[in-house]
Amino acid sequence: MKIINTLEEKLVPIAVWINQNNYINGIRKAFIILMPLLMIGSIFLVISVLPSAVYQDFMYNKFGPSWKRTLEIPINATFSLIAVYVAFLVAQQLGKQFKIDSIAVGLLSLASFLTLTPLKSTTTLGEVITFTWLGSKGLFVAMIIGIVVVKIFKFFVNHNILLRMPDGVPPEVTKSFEALIPGTVILSLALLLRVTMMNTDYGTIHDFIYNILALPLKSLGTSFIGSFLTVLCISLLWSVGINSGSMINGLIRPFWLENQVDNINALKEGLPLPHIITEQFFDLIWMGGAGSTLSLLLAILLFARSNHIRSVGGIGAIPGIFNINEPVLFGLPIILNPIMLIPFNIVPLVMLTTQYVAMSIGLVSKPLGVPFPWPTPALISGFITVGDISGSLMQITNLIVGALIYLPFLRILDKASKYEEDQVKIFQKEQQELE
């Protein structure tokens, strides 16, 4: 219990600060809103690249040689413009957090992002439009712009530096004119920054931020060590009852998302997938939820003898299949239980390691980058993630390994629970005999 108390003392204040931080919450909510749009784009991607020669021939003969290019239109409208959506959504969600005009700051953030983003480049063939920074590579700048725009707009609101309209003017018109002064200042600063960066070696704010800040952070966050620390943080915070998945994921998702888009672009071109670490890589691990408790449910089903533990396993089985494990976490319990917290933290790290090694040496395919809803059951999620049966086989292997790790600790709990149940039965029998 001393370890648990120490974890509570050190981790809870950090988790509370993260949950209450308006900027972190705004960014997290922006990406949550964006996820369904990316899933829609992924549907068209899957239709386009389904790995079946019969299917590909049928589509070619039915719709002609340009059928894939047609499907790329909605794919490009989603994945290739991610930074555009983020520039608006981050500012808009932060505007809601700070109770200022969320639509105005969202549009100003988008306009500032486009002001700072070069949309054209000159080649030997002439002038062509390029969308390099409108996609995943522009995410970091889009988030920073969203935050800065909100802070500047908030400064003008707090100091009442706004253009006021006479009484009787409709509220919508009043709000529009109130944004004139801060909006003019914000776009002027964006233009000034654009011109300034053009006279540096970097050329654009995108090149500067991406090379100085985003690339090192991405390299750390999407490395094996960074992934190991991510999983460890999620498990440790859950150990003291803090729902940490969405919180941690919200911080690192922008870096995963860039890898995800890189893999999708490689998939479209028929090239080898460059990255192992995407958000879907972790979806393969969290089978049953935090702690990969589907492995624990498997061990309970096969080996538990205590009525209490078997009943918890029965109640938690159906939710567990859909990655909801609160019945197990609080019914067994695992949370604040020194015995079960050991495998609860170890199992996901072992799964992470075996899965990373298997993908690194080619035994398991790399994640395609196609997002899917988090309640997707194991085995199905494995197949969707990598696009073939190797993902499902990896999950089966991890399930068995996880169950073997959970088993010794489960038996300790099971024996103690069975002993208590037997003692109750003996007591009840003695009471009946006395009566």
Q: What is the pTM of this model?
A: 0.75
- Structural domains counted in the chain: 2
In this structure, are 201 and 299 located in the same domain?
A: no
Instruction: Return the percent helix, strand and coil in the chain, to nearest 5.
Output: 75, 0, 25
Q: Which of 212, 228, 261 marks a domain boundary?
A: 212
| Terminal C-alpha separation, the chain | 42
In this structure, are 340 and 208 located in the same domain?
A: no
Residue 418 maps to a domain: yes
Q: Which domain holds residue 304?
A: 280-434
The answer to whether residues 305 and 418 touch, using CB atoms and an 8 Å cutoff, is yes
Residue 206 maps to a domain: yes
Residue 306 maps to a domain: yes
For residue 41, what pLDDT is reported?
A: 85
Residue 164 maps to a domain: yes
* The residue type at 208: F
In this structure, are 71 and 207 located in the same domain?
A: yes
In this structure, are 292 and 421 located in the same domain?
A: yes
**Count of Cβ atoms closer than 10 Å to residue 313 Cβ:** 24
* Per-residue model confidence as pLDDT tens for the chain (435 residues): 565 566 566 666 766 666 677 888 888 888 888 888 888 888 888 788 776 778 888 888 888 888 888 888 888 888 888 899 999 999 999 999 999 989 999 999 999 999 999 876 544 444 444 567 888 888 889 999 999 999 999 999 998 888 776 666 666 666 777 888 999 999 999 999 999 999 888 888 888 888 887 777 777 778 899 899 989 988 888 887 676 666 677 677 888 888 888 898 888 888 899 999 998 999 899 999 889 999 999 999 999 888 888 998 888 899 899 888 888 888 888 887 888 889 999 999 999 999 999 999 999 999 998 888 878 899 999 999 998 999 999 999 999 999 999 999 999 888 888 888 778 777 677 677 666
Instruction: Give CA separation, 209 vs 109, 202, 216, 421, in Å.
Output: 17, 9, 10, 62
For residue 47, what pLDDT is reported?
A: 84
> 398: which residues sit within 8 A by CB, 6+ positions away?
284, 285, 287, 292, 295, 351, 354, 355
What secondary structure does DSSP assign to 285-343, as a single string? T-TTSGGGTHHHHHHHHHH---HHHHHHHHHHHHHHHTT--HHHHHHTT-TT-TTTHHH
3-state secondary structure of 66: coil
For residue 112, what pLDDT is reported?
A: 95
Residue 189 maps to a domain: yes
For residue 128, what pLDDT is reported?
A: 43
In this structure, are 70 and 204 located in the same domain?
A: yes
Residues 271 and 80: their CA atoms lie apart, in Å, by 18
Element housing 43 (H / E): helix 22-49
| Beta strand residue intervals within 60-163, DSSP E | 120-123, 126-129
Pick from 147, 159, 155, 157: nearest CA to 108: 147
In this structure, are 168 and 302 located in the same domain?
A: no
In this structure, are 205 and 340 located in the same domain?
A: no
Q: Which of 169, 188, 212 marks a domain boundary?
A: 212
Q: Which of 162, 178, 212 marks a domain boundary?
A: 212
In this structure, are 374 and 285 located in the same domain?
A: yes
Residue 134 maps to a domain: yes
For residue 433, what pLDDT is reported?
A: 65
For residue 277, what pLDDT is reported?
A: 92
Residue 267 maps to a domain: no
**Count of Cβ atoms closer than 10 Å to residue 215 Cβ:** 15
In this structure, are 203 and 288 located in the same domain?
A: no
The two three-digit tokens of residue 81, written as one number: 């413009």
Residue 396 maps to a domain: yes
In this structure, are 206 and 330 located in the same domain?
A: no
**Count of Cβ atoms closer than 10 Å to residue 368 Cβ:** 24
